[in-house]
A = this chain, B = another copy of it.
Amino acid sequence: TAKGPNCDASTNMRLKLPITCFILEIIIIILFGVLVQYDEGTDAKLWHDRNHSSHSDYDNDFYYRYPSFQDVHVMIFIGFGFLMTFLQRYGFSSVGFNFLIAAFALQWATLMQGFFHGMHGGKIHIGVESMINADFCTGSVLISFGAVLGKTSPVQLLLMAIFEVTLFAVNEFIVLSVLGAKDAGGSMTIHTFGAYFGLIVARVLYRPNLDKSKHRNSSVYHSDLFAMIGTLYLWMFWPSFNSAITAHGDDQHRTAMNTYYSLAACTLSSYAMSALTAHDGKLDMVHIQNAALAGGVAAGTAGEMMLTPFGSMIVGFVAGIISVLGFKYLSPVLESKLKIQDTCGVHNLHGMPGILGAIVGAIVAALATADVYGEGLTDVFPDVASGEISASDQGVRQIISLAVTLGIALLGGLIVGFILKLPIFGAPPDTICFEDSIYWEVRRSGSFILKAVISESFPANCP
């Protein structure tokens, strides 16, 4: 039998992957043992002490946030995981590596985010809010994964996650704590950061001969249906994503509703633009799977503000148009001119809509008045409410935060890209990218004709 893809010793994961996983997990466990403690809502003693005074069990943050957490969790594991199964021969890796790096990143993010803004007396205190934040940070890594999908080994992805989570926590700390910007749904800290970080990594990992794997870099009928599972879960639960860590009460409620209408409007403009730009007036699954989500990204910063459903719809409407245009006209240019091979088009779903969201957030913040927000101003813009800064100052903070986020993402991605380029992490050769059988045991179909057909493109395993 012919020598198959897995015969290349360099992509063999027998030792590389276990060693990486074991070392990382053991380090994490030790750090958790040393640094991490239950917070007031999860510790039996602390909660009951506090509870004795006047609180009831319902005040536990669990009941305010756990349903939202679970929705976010579904977005991370099903949403991102299945969205990437659109490739015909990369479903195991899309879902499976997504699963692996997410499970790692959420642990590492707990430590990094805790280190930068959750330390109390030398300890990191954790509960449902830190779980949501860890999932958010993980989302950023998965966005970057989308840019390099099909061209990286799981060891490379874990390495990328280590560095990206760390830089995410640094950037988040600067944006939210130092600069005092607002970004509850992460247009900047999650989407813009994850997209541009991933795009620069993809740039550094540029493969001039990737067209040798071109026939696998597309979808088939069923893989597009699997991808729609991912799309729809992201779409449905984005209101929970943007509202998961806003203040209790009207803030969570308003954020969810703004996002709901932004996404609905975005869906209509995405379908319209897809039919308008695609071949023969037919809808393109790539647009539907991705552009229809841009409204959630673009409402990430301003969603908690008094954006109004009217404003949300305009934002979503524009985001859908930008996103489809990006897929149609910008992505080919990014690939041919800037040498950025963006497998999932994260620039169109997370990059440009993220920047749009940041700008919208800055504008809406700058227009905030006590007349509109009433006492609620304290929840949304505490420094404006306290009189420390003006609303337009808040707007400036938002714009500076966008610039900082772009800077850290681009610089970080550049460095991490060069690290990942070291030829020791088992990246696949150009000829067999977008192919599960390099890293996965793939069982063949029962029918011999299909077997024959498939084995032509995918030679059998090594003897």
Contacts and interface: CB of A to CB of B under 8 A. Distances in A.
A78 B229 contact: yes
A141 to B, nearest CB: 14
20 contacts: A17-B275, A17-B283, A18-B275, A32-B309, A32-B313, A44-B375, A45-B371, A45-B375, A51-B375, A52-B375, A57-B249, A62-B252, A70-B239, A81-B232, A92-B225, A110-B309, A128-B256, A224-B443, A284-B441, A447-B453
A264 interface: yes
Interface size classification for chain A = 35 or more
Closest 5 A/B residue pairs (Cβ): A44-B376, A14-B281, A45-B374, A48-B375, A47-B250
B271 A441 contact: no
B376 A280 contact: no
Contacts of A215: 446
Contacts of A146: none
Contacts of A374: 44-46, 48-49
Interface stretch (A19-27, A184-192, A200-208, A416-424): A19-27
Contacts of A308: 36-38
Highest count of chain B CB atoms <10 Å: which of A250, A281, A441, A442: A250
Contact of A440 (B42, B154, B285): B285
Interface string A357-398: 000000000000001111111011000000000000000000
Interface string A309-346: 11001100100000000000000000000000000000
Interface string A221-252: 11011101100110111011000000011111
A176 interface: no
Interface stretch (A99-107, A166-174, A404-412): A99-107
Nearest to A103: B267
B232 A95 contact: yes
Copy number in this complex?
A: 3
Interface in A247-270: 248-254, 256-257, 260-261, 263-265, 267-269
A29 B310 contact: yes
A162 interface: no
A91 B221 contact: yes
A380 to B, nearest CB: 7
Interface string A38-81: 10011111111101100001111111101100110110011001
A260 B253 CA distance: 26
Contact of A313 (B29, B224, B261): B29
Contact of A62 (B37, B220, B253): B253
A42 B268 contact: no
A314 to B, nearest CB: 6
Contacts of A279: 441, 461
Contacts of A461: 279-280
A244 to B, nearest CB: 11
Contacts of A444: 220
A250 B60 contact: yes
A454 interface: yes
